[in-house]
Amino acid sequence: MKLVKNLTLSALTIALLAGCNTSPKQGSTTQSGTVSNNASNTVIAKSAYEFKDADIVMPAYFDTQGLERCTFDINSEIDSCPLKKPIVRMYFDLAGVSGSGIGVDAMREFDNQNLLLMLENQFAGINRFRIVTRDDDAISKEQQLILQQQGVATAAKRAEVKALIPDFVVKIDSLRTLKTEGAITDWADYTLELTTGVINPQTREKLSHPNLGKIRVKSEDVRDRSELKFTTVSGRYAAGFHFDQSAHVNAVLSDMGSRGIDILLTRMLSEMPATAQVLGIKGNKISLDRGQNAGVLPNETMIIFSYEAGFVEPLGVANVNPSRSSANGEIIRWKDSRAADDVKNKAENGIYRPSNVAKIFAVSVGTPADFLENRT
Amino acid sequence: MIKKLGLLALCSLSAQAQVDVLADGTLQTQACAYGRGSTAISGAKAQASAELISFIKGNKSLTTQGAQQHLTSRLDDDAASLYEQQRTTMMEGLSAGAVPLNYSTPTLSGNDTCMTVSLNPQELGEPLQQNWQQTTQNFSVTVIGQGWKKEGKTALTIAEQDALQRAVSQVVGVWLTQQHTQSSSTSMSIAEGNESTSMQELIGQQLSSHSEGLVKEWQTLQTKELKNGGVEVTILAVVEKAPLIQKASKLLSMIGSPRVQVVAPEPLKTELKVWLNEQGIEVGNAASLAIYAKSTVISRGNNRQLYLTADVRDLAGNIYGQWKNDPSFMSLPKGPYVEKDLMAVHLASESQSKALHSTLNNAFTQVVARGGLVREVMLPSNKLTQPEKLHDVLSTLGGVSDVSIHRQQKYTVASLRFKGDTGELANALDQALMTITAKNLSKITVEDDFTLRYK
């Protein structure tokens, strides 16, 4: 009996010891996520007036390059001048729709030329690129008119100026899909997916920046589902949404394309924020060295930060309005920090001009709050 | 006391000018101009200079002393006297833009670009005298020539001739370079780089065969024996400028404006003829050079572009140069007159017409460089007494090169290049062929610029 007890104790001890020997739990740096199939939405900047202290942080992609190397001649800026903008030509590519099925034929006949021109217009407006238009018809009509109205000599002289040579090609690739249930009373569910590639046409390299991701627009984003309801009788259209007529389908697809472009714009503005150097601070007023020429938009929300020895220190948030080559703004909220207080004190009684060692910059935080309302 | 007053006046600052006078007498002011970049910078500079001028001028009157004046700093006596001495020079110089001003690096201020401009009277020197170099009538050059005994001439004679030709060629080179730098509107544009070098070689080559008339005097400096009985001479030659320039210009204008005929479909033919006439190139049917031109309208979407080509050929079919237009120059919407419109614009364009002009000039130069135009001499074979000598006889004629002979039915046809005009060639042929042809050979007839025929 005693032996049995001893044996049991030993077994227990061994078991305990074995238990102690198990390796410690491994840490983990990843977790599983779900791939969303939801429609994309816009992300825009908060108005400077709504910022709280904790919101005053640095956005990504800020830049601290000054204008020292700029010539201010748009055609001769060197790469190290932040006002130099890449010259791009834009393409809007719709993947062909093949196969057959309810409403597929009507989707096929889609003219993307006008969507392309819309894209060019909207992108030109944000002044991140210089765009070479592909609107050949308008250009040649204009040349014809100059020839008629001003004569050969003037037309020839004007034609000496060549079109810009694009540095890059911006290509929007898109996919269109249509989903129906196959029931007698059904609704069309179109999806448009857009991705943007920036291509160096010489080397064929697709650039990593700006990375605009994938944009998904669903027909329910632009039309109420009830508007896309239809009824079929033995597979043919009977009533409701004209899924079989390209004009009706294109109206929906165009709206979706247009919405996609809007989302694209807002992403572009976050990916390529406007940066400017602060020339002076007077009280809460700031004067910036760049304006429209660097793509600063009206009512831009900008984070003001100091830059010294590679460290950035957010100082406050400002509401900025541009003029052609400079901008003026007002710091709406100063950051609650020693660095911000220091600058604030210096600027209280007169104009504070930052030194060359501790420069002050302003960087936009994304699409201005009222941009979608006014510009899309 | 007067000096002190003068100083006061000198240092007075008007409200607008804001010119500071530093301790060493340097005048300094800041000005801003709207905008960015070079225009704004030069605007700011000009404004600052103007302020400096008005400041210096303003000091003429010692009596206008308002309440605003004050001394920014005390001038020492030297600086003050220097200022007084240099004042007139500064005033004259500033308005002429000849006084060295010191400019700071531009700074940005809101929408403006600002510059600080200063003027230090100590830096003003005496105005530089312009040195005019006397133009010389003659060029002296030292050249080396080599020669070997050939065709009854001594090695020394050939070496001397070689040296003289080199001397002429060198002077032509100098003249052409001068022409190039002095004016760009010579009868023919001696354009950049390669073209100018080839032109120099070409003209040197052509002129040096007449070196006698161009070299005024020369003397042998050194003679050296070479292998195989050759001689090397170093000579000092004096080349006269005037006759050289005359001959070279004549040659240039000859290259620049030969007569051409135009072979092209209408409306291109008329358009080209008009254009050629405008360019001073004579057009005629009996020309020894022809411009073959073609035009094609190609469609680009809804629009049309024009392809134009023109090449210069001689009557033997040699192509001396080709021009293609730049179709991207203009595209127009499709329509009934699109070809004519595009043609007119292309030919009216400066860059296109310059390219065409330069192609034509190159082609004409090519003709001269290759030894002149190709001609065909037709001789009845049965009247040639010594047909085997025909080639040699023609080759030794002055100005003739590239002789080739073939039979064509009853005729022996000699095709050759000749530097001069057709009449000159006909005369030379009449003399030379006498020895190797039958007595009853007819007189030579010039059928056109290409064909010369005996019967």
Q: How many structural domains comprise chain B?
A: 4
Mean pLDDT for A47-71 is: 91
Residue B132 lies in a domain: no
Q: Tokens standing for B204?
A: 């040197």
ipTM score here? 0.72
Q: Which of B324, B345, B369 is the last residue of a domain?
A: B369
Q: How confident is the model at residue A342 (pLDDT cuts 50, 70, 90)?
A: very high
Q: Which residue has the tokens 């510059």?
A: B115
Residue B130 lies in a domain: no
Within this chain, do residues B365 and B384 fall inside the same structural domain, yes or no? no
Q: Which of B369, B393, B417 is the last residue of a domain?
A: B369
Q: How confident is the model at residue B203 (pLDDT cuts 50, 70, 90)?
A: low
Within this chain, do residues B119 and B142 fall inside the same structural domain, yes or no? no
What pLDDT, on a 0 to 100 scale, did the predictor assign at position B436? 79
Res. B71: pLDDT tops 70 = no
Per-residue burial over A315-341, b if 16 or more Cβ lie within 10 Å, else e, is bbbbbbebeebbbbbebbbbbeeebbe
Which range is least confidently modeled, A346-355, B74-83, B419-428?
B74-83
Residue B131 lies in a domain: no
What pLDDT, on a 0 to 100 scale, did the predictor assign at position A11? 55
Highest mean pLDDT pick, A358-362, B144-148, B351-355, B422-426:
A358-362
Within this chain, do residues B342 and B331 fall inside the same structural domain, yes or no? yes
Mean pLDDT for A327-346 is: 95
Q: How confident is the model at residue B127 (pLDDT cuts 50, 70, 90)?
A: very low
CA atoms of A45 and A42, how far apart (whole Å): 10
DSSP B112-139: EEEEEEEE-GGG--PPPPPPPPPPPSEE
Q: Answer yes or no: do B37 and A70 touch at CB < 8 A.
A: yes
- B:295-354 residues touching chain A, CB 8 A cutoff: 300-303, 328-333, 335, 341, 344-346, 348-352
CA atoms of B292 and B29, how far apart (whole Å): 66
Q: Does A287 touch chain B (CB under 8 A)?
A: yes
Query: Identity (one letter) of the amino acid at A320?
Result: V
Nearest CA in chain A to B326: A160
What pLDDT, on a 0 to 100 scale, did the predictor assign at position A50? 94
Answer whether B164's CB lies under 8 Å from B238's CB.
no
Q: Answer yes or no: do B332 and A143 touch at CB < 8 A.
A: yes
Residue B129 lies in a domain: no
Q: What is the CATH number of the domain that holds B444?
A: 3.30.1360
3-state SS, B343-364, equals HHHHHHCHHHHHHHHHHHHHHH
> Residue B207 sits in which domain range?
138-256
Q: What is the CATH number of the domain that holds B206?
A: 3.30.1660.40
Res. A324: pLDDT tops 60 = yes
Residue B352 lies in a domain: yes
Mean confidence (pLDDT) of chain A: 87
Within this chain, do residues B360 and B381 fall inside the same structural domain, yes or no? no
Classified as helix, coil or strand, A90 is strand
Within this chain, do residues B118 and B15 fall inside the same structural domain, yes or no? yes
Instruction: Calculate how close chain B gets to A325, using CA atoms only, in Å.
Output: 6
Res. A16: pLDDT tops 70 = no
Within this chain, do residues B84 and B111 fall inside the same structural domain, yes or no? yes
Within this chain, do residues B289 and B228 fall inside the same structural domain, yes or no? no
CA atoms of B29 and B54, how far apart (whole Å): 12
Residue B152 lies in a domain: yes
Residue B164 lies in a domain: yes
Interface test mutation site (partner A, options B330, B331, B347, B351, max chain A beta carbons within 10 A): B330
- Higher pLDDT among residues B179 and A334, named by residue: A334
Res. A332: pLDDT tops 90 = yes
Helices B193-208, B155-182: inter-axial angle, 10-degree rounding: 140
Mean pLDDT for B402-410 is: 84
Q: Does A161 touch chain B (CB under 8 A)?
A: no
What pLDDT digit, counting tens, does each position of B310-343 carry? 888 887 788 888 999 999 889 999 988 898 889 8
Mean pLDDT for A205-232 is: 90
Within this chain, do residues B188 and B225 fall inside the same structural domain, yes or no? yes
Within this chain, do residues B114 and B146 fall inside the same structural domain, yes or no? no
What pLDDT, on a 0 to 100 scale, did the predictor assign at position A5? 59
What pLDDT, on a 0 to 100 scale, did the predictor assign at position A22? 59
Q: Which of B230, B256, B282 is the last residue of a domain?
A: B256
Listed residue (B114, B147, B127) closest to B86, CA to CA? B127
Instruction: Calculate how close chain B gets to A282, using CA atoms only, in Å.
Output: 13
Q: Is the full-model pTM beyond 0.90?
A: no
What pLDDT, on a 0 to 100 scale, did the predictor assign at position B69? 41
Mean pLDDT for A103-115 is: 80
Within this chain, do residues B379 and B364 fall inside the same structural domain, yes or no? no
B150: which DSSP letter?
A: B
Which range is least confidently modeled, A94-103, B246-255, B401-410?
B246-255
Q: What is the CATH number of the domain that holds B356?
A: 3.30.160
Q: Tokens standing for B303?
A: 């629009």
Interface test mutation site (partner B, options A67, A69, A70, A72, max chain B beta carbons within 10 A): A72
User: Domains of chain A (ranges plus CATH)?
Assistant: 48-62+273-375 (no CATH), 87-271 (3.30.160)
Residue B377 lies in a domain: yes
Classified as helix, coil or strand, B371 is coil
Q: How many alpha carbons lie under 13 Å from residue B240 in its C-beta half-sphere?
A: 12
Within this chain, do residues B251 and B263 fall inside the same structural domain, yes or no? no
Q: Tokens standing for B106?
A: 């531009």
Within this chain, do residues B265 and B172 fall inside the same structural domain, yes or no? no
